[in-house]
Structure 1
Amino acid sequence: MTASKNEPSSSSSSLLHVNYLIIGTGPAGGSLAAFMASYGMKGLIISRDPSSADTPRAHITNMAAMDCFRDIGIDEECYKLGTQNNTMIHTRWCNTMAGLEYGRIYSWGNDPKRKGDYELASPSKMLDLPQTLLEPLLTRYATLNGFKCRWDTELLTFEQDENGVTATLLDKLSNTTFQVRSKYLFGADGARSKVVQHVEIPMIRRPSQGFAVNLLFQADLSHLMETRKGNLHWILQPDRENPEWGLSGCMRMVKPWFEWLCILLPAPNAPREVRSNEEYIQRIRELIGDESAEVKILGVSTWVINETVAEYYSKGNVFCLGDAVHRHPPTNGLGSNTCVQDAHNLAWKVNFVEKGLAGKELLGTYSIERQPVGLDVITQANASFRNQKEIVEVLGATEVTAEARMKVQKEIYAESPEGVARRERLSKAFRAANGEVHGLGIEMNQRYVSSAVYQADQGAMPAFTRDPLQYYHPTTYPGARLPHVWLGNHIPSKYISTIDLAGKGRFTLFTGIGGHYWKKAAEELSSETGVPIKAYSIGYGQDYKDIYLDWEGIRGVEDSGCVLVRPDYFVVWRSPRWEKDSASKLKQVLKSVLSLH
């Protein structure tokens, strides 16, 4: 019987076998494929689309994500493709791009009062790297190192058993279906994830904050930018009547200073509809403040302002990551960065289990560790978005009539008690927004609590002494990120970070003077178990010199103690000093965190 033109036909070829099947080539799926490929793992990554992303939705790339890319050596390519931080100096609120400015704040580590915090937190640098440029880089790395990639290929359904997953895929070019058998299936297929739906992972859904329209366009605004340098420009026009489908907007730099994304925010309860390109161009010109500006629309898309996270990230041999399990507005710039770190956490665990270096229970720690991070991220991103609404209200843009809006505008400049109160409220809202664009803490303060870290002998987790949203609190307490410290040779030469000594698919042990026994114990344990462990001593006359004595101040152990770090840069365990039973304790810890029985 012949299939109809609209119904896909089944392929007569045999079942295709791969080790790992990744659904989605976005920042989550692409990163997972790249990290797995760096460990020598081979698999298949598919996308239902004909190519990588055609719109630069995600773009802020923070240092935590860049450290992950640094682990596999693609960070320098990221810097070449992206736009450096010196173009991201400000976030502004204005009447038009060319006109009146209501206020501005420093952003993304450019505040002179915060630059040191960022430099101390990581060897990497923050940059603006749109996913249109990041995704091809990740896919290329993965396919050059063992993964295959298929475009125009859609997941239809799948079934899993104890030994793996059988997926039915649709080749959209030939309109034929075929099946793929894999050990694991990874759902990185975005906010409308078929994988999450099919495996029936429940979602925590908070009320949506509406929708927005993204307009990707070209316009040369370089003549404006010398005094307006920044990559986010919020535009409010309370002095005029604005269409409900584009009540306010945000101009986001894509490529300085000729490619932009205009994010249109409709009025509450406005219908979700697409307008004509002519209407969009006219609205963009109004927001720029130049009716004669040459504007070329490159793409139009809409998106829902979500506050949604999965209750858990995995079920059986199916693991989900990225927007499939956490969805939120772009405030705080946490989207693709969280996707990348999901992948970095998951990849090494799958690698160790597949090589027989860990028990399968290790895979259960992926959801235990990353789901609370996703919940924090969606909560904070939406809180920041609500603060943007506060700024809009204080400036009078939500008032119904032009008369009421202008009254508020005059009040801001008035020498009156009402004027004082209005200005104080506006200043408070701007300061709150500073937490959004200097959220170093939400980016780097993750503290994992799972069987993949050993905290039984560590006492209480140290409390945060400053705002955990804005400030990073480096510590070697197990479950925290390995602190970055610059090290060097005893004869001055190029610096190297503790981050650069860690990672690479292996465990890393740091010790100091008198800790040479740890190095011998790590070598013997690695030989016995097959688990790759690299040991370094830091201090006078050791492998590396503690150049600024920063490691001495942050290591949390004595000279002869040790700090053990996982392949994803998170501290596993630390011991205050070398003792007679330390070698057996190290073995106990390693077997515990890797679920080796």
Structure 2
Amino acid sequence: MPALAGVSRDGEVDTEFLIVGCGPAGASLACFLASYGLTGIVVSAAAGTASTPRAHITNMAAIECLRDIGLEQEVRAVASHGHAMIHTRWCHSMAGEEYARLYSWGNDPRRKGDYELASPCEPVDIPQTLLEPILIRYATTHGFKARFTVLRDDISKLEFKIRTRYLFGADGAQSCVVKQLNLPLDHKPGQGLAINVLVKADLSHLVDSRKGNLHWVMQPDREHPEFGWMGLVRMVKPWHEWMFILLPNRDADVGMKPASHEYLKRVKDFIGDETPAEILNVSKWFINETVAEQYSKGNIFCIGDAVHRHPPFNGLGSNTCIQDAYNLAWKLAFVHRGLASPELLKTYSQERQPVGKSVITRANQAFREHHHVWEALGALPKELGERKRILEELSEPTPQGKIRREEFQTAIQENPVLYHLPNTYPGSRLPHVWLNKAVPITPISTIDLAGHGRFVLLTGIGGGSWKGAATKVAAEYGVPLEVHSIGFRQDWEDYYFEWSRLRGVDESGAVLVRPDRFVAWRAQEVLGSEEECAAKLGEVFKAILGNA
């Protein structure tokens, strides 16, 4: 490894920002900081970027963060899209009987409009093995240095010591930074062990009638090994690479070490035909429900799986990591430039910890909800005969068979969290609305008016005083602030009248949006004069930036 710039004779390095961990959290934080022109070092104990796919679903909110720094198209170019993610299935094997399927990730014809109205971006499936190199490449071509394995010069063998103003623990579920800080963790009982078996197998002959990226495989009418009574087959690369996630018996020894041929046999059971299969990797993980009670202490900040640990259900893992980083980066940039008080940095934990707590609760609840499906299919009883009886009952023309089918349908369709309700209430994400010019050009989203490292004030007809006020306040505080008027013959036309419906304020009112595209403040209508508007905006910025 070549030497780091600025190394002293005794191997000490000074940097403003040191990120420990190169996963989605650490790598995206390096990207967002670099987008502000900041430089630092990101280090990892691993030999390189992710060697197994792990996280994969990247939702619209996370894609919006990457869109802000110009990475959306690069991610989309290597990701799988809606046609490959159309269903979640429940089946006896990949080639065999199917029990049920659900539309997923915005593919339900009844829900597509909801997804399109929520964001200018689409969810994609990008394995961590493909996402991390994109992030590291961006960070290292925009001023950050990345170091893997050991901080040592290959020629002199000198090991470096790094002194930093800000330290970030993005070092995953076994975070050393969290342990050394002694951050309090809220542990709830875990839900057992899971085993990831990465497999190379060409299943393209099966997928035309079975398209989807998640396939729950249950064989209640068969005996099963203790290391895999059921499993989830996840698409990694269409249609030749798959992750077989095996769920062991609840009473199985977590230290068990099945042989490779045993794993391969179980994989072939789940495939269900004679397709050749090769195991590429096996790893174990625990289904956790853990969140840190605080995310920072002084100038040390922890992000990602270091502070929220949960199963991957609902695709919330790496997405939350990226959004942690996006929230933190603009605050660090403003403090570093002297535009905000260090008090602003305290809001990172205040804002993101409740999100992390909600995420681990939702992800674990989604896993628990699957128990109703397993119960309805007869997968839970220990006795093979009882499991067979319940499975057969599903097809019987009897009162009990009818009840069993109703229970199964209800279990499959259970999901109380369905709808996104856009609004401009402070603390909400800025609603996505397509806008245009009076003489039409390429439409632009409100999402793209915001972001880019600056505050944005959105107003409308009659809100001219906000424009003048914003100019004065931006000059006084030195903050990047743009103003856009939306409405008939304004800067932007609300040609679908969606902004009028969602803005939550009068035409002359104002909505102030932070650099991370969250609404910071709003005024129902214009105040009496430009001076009054400027005074009010000044108070708002003092409160936001910690200068009050």
Match of 2:461 among 494, 500, 513: 513
- Is 1:317 the counterpart of 2:295? The answer is no
In structure 2, the residue matched to 1:463 is: none
Structure 1: stretches of 5+ with no match in the other structure: 1-10, 154-168, 436-466
- Is 1:564 the counterpart of 2:515? The answer is no
In structure 1, the residue matched to 2:328 is: 346
Name the aligned partner's letter for residue 400 of structure 1. K
- Is 1:548 the counterpart of 2:499? The answer is no
Name the aligned partner's letter for residue 520 of structure 1. G
Structure 2: stretches of 5+ with no match in the other structure: 1-7
Match of 2:388 among 400, 406, 409: 406
Give 1:196-595 correspondences, 5 Å limit.
Answer: 196-272=178-254, 273-290=256-273, 292-432=274-414, 435=415, 469-580=417-528, 581-595=532-546
CA contact (8 A) 1:152 1:171 kept: no
What's the offset of the Cα at 1:583? Answer: 1.6
In structure 2, the residue matched to 1:96 is: 93
Distance 1:572 1:410 in 2: 57
**SS at 1:18 equivalent:** strand
CA contact (8 A) 1:85 1:127 kept: yes
What's the offset of the Cα at 1:416? Answer: 1.8
Q: Could you list the per-position Cα deviations for residues 510-550 of structure 1 after superposition, in whole angstroms to 9, with x for gaps in the alignment?
A: 01112122112111211111110011111111111112010
Name the aligned partner's letter for residue 590 of structure 1. F
Name the aligned partner's letter for residue 117 of structure 1. D
In structure 2, the residue matched to 1:124 is: 121
What's the offset of the Cα at 1:201? Answer: 0.1
**SS at 1:404 equivalent:** helix
What's the offset of the Cα at 1:490? Answer: 1.1
Name the aligned partner's letter for residue 544 of structure 2. V
Distance 1:276 1:516 in 2: 72
Identity of aligned residues (%): 55
**SS at 2:34 equivalent:** helix
Distance 2:153 2:117 in 1: 49
What's the offset of the Cα at 1:172? Answer: 10
CA contact (8 A) 1:476 1:571 kept: yes
What's the offset of the Cα at 1:177? Answer: 4.2
**SS at 1:183 equivalent:** strand
**SS at 1:254 equivalent:** strand
Match of 1:18 among 6, 10, 15: 15
Q: Could you list the per-position Cα deviations for residues 293-318 of structure 1 after superposition, in whole angstroms to 9, with x for gaps in the alignment?
A: 21111111110000000000000110
Distance 1:174 1:326 in 2: 39
Distance 2:120 2:81 in 1: 15
Q: Could you list the per-position Cα deviations for residues 420-478 of structure 1 after superposition, in whole angstroms to 9, with x for gaps in the alignment?
A: 2211111111011xx3xxxxxxxxxxxxxxxxxxxxxxxxxxxxxxx6x2111111011
What's the offset of the Cα at 1:417? Answer: 2.1
**SS at 2:160 equivalent:** strand
- Is 1:86 the counterpart of 2:83? The answer is yes
Distance 1:583 1:12 in 2: 53
Select between 130-139 and 174-183 the one with higher mean Cα deviation: 174-183
- Is 1:48 the counterpart of 2:65? The answer is no
Name the aligned partner's letter for residue 281 of structure 1. L
Q: Could you list the per-position Cα deviations for residues 19-56 of structure 1 after superposition, in whole angstroms to 9, with x for gaps in the alignment?
A: 10000000000110000000000000001011100111
Q: Could you list the per-position Cα deviations for residues 54-82 of structure 1 after superposition, in whole angstroms to 9, with x for gaps in the alignment?
A: 11110000000000001111001010010
Distance 2:75 2:226 in 1: 39
CA contact (8 A) 1:152 1:173 kept: no
Name the aligned partner's letter for residue 244 of structure 1. E
Q: Could you list the per-position Cα deviations for residues 91-142 of structure 1 after superposition, in whole angstroms to 9, with x for gaps in the alignment?
A: 0110010111111111111111111110000000011011111101001100
**Between Structure 1 and Structure 2, how many residues are aligned?**
537
**SS at 1:83 equivalent:** coil
CA contact (8 A) 2:37 2:142 kept: yes
Distance 1:201 1:430 in 2: 38
Q: 1:421 to 1:286 in 2, by over 3 A?
A: same
Q: 1:233 to 1:172 in 2, by over 3 A?
A: farther
Name the aligned partner's letter for residue 408 of structure 1. I
CA contact (8 A) 1:203 1:311 kept: yes
CA contact (8 A) 1:215 1:262 kept: yes
Q: 1:113 to 1:170 in 2, by over 3 A?
A: same
Distance 1:109 1:475 in 2: 20
What's the offset of the Cα at 1:568? Answer: 0.3
In structure 2, the residue matched to 1:36 is: 33
In structure 1, the residue matched to 2:142 is: 145
Distance 2:441 2:121 in 1: 19
CA contact (8 A) 1:71 1:504 kept: yes
In structure 1, the residue matched to 2:3 is: none
Distance 1:68 1:171 in 2: 35
Q: 1:235 to 1:173 in 2, by over 3 A?
A: farther
What's the offset of the Cα at 1:389? Answer: 2.0
Name the aligned partner's letter for residue 87 of structure 1. A
In structure 2, the residue matched to 1:446 is: none
CA contact (8 A) 1:152 1:172 kept: no
In structure 1, the residue matched to 2:5 is: none
**SS at 2:314 equivalent:** helix
Root mean square deviation, CA, Å: 1.4
Distance 2:317 2:155 in 1: 31
TM-score (norm. length: structure 2): 0.96
What's the offset of the Cα at 1:175? Answer: 7.7
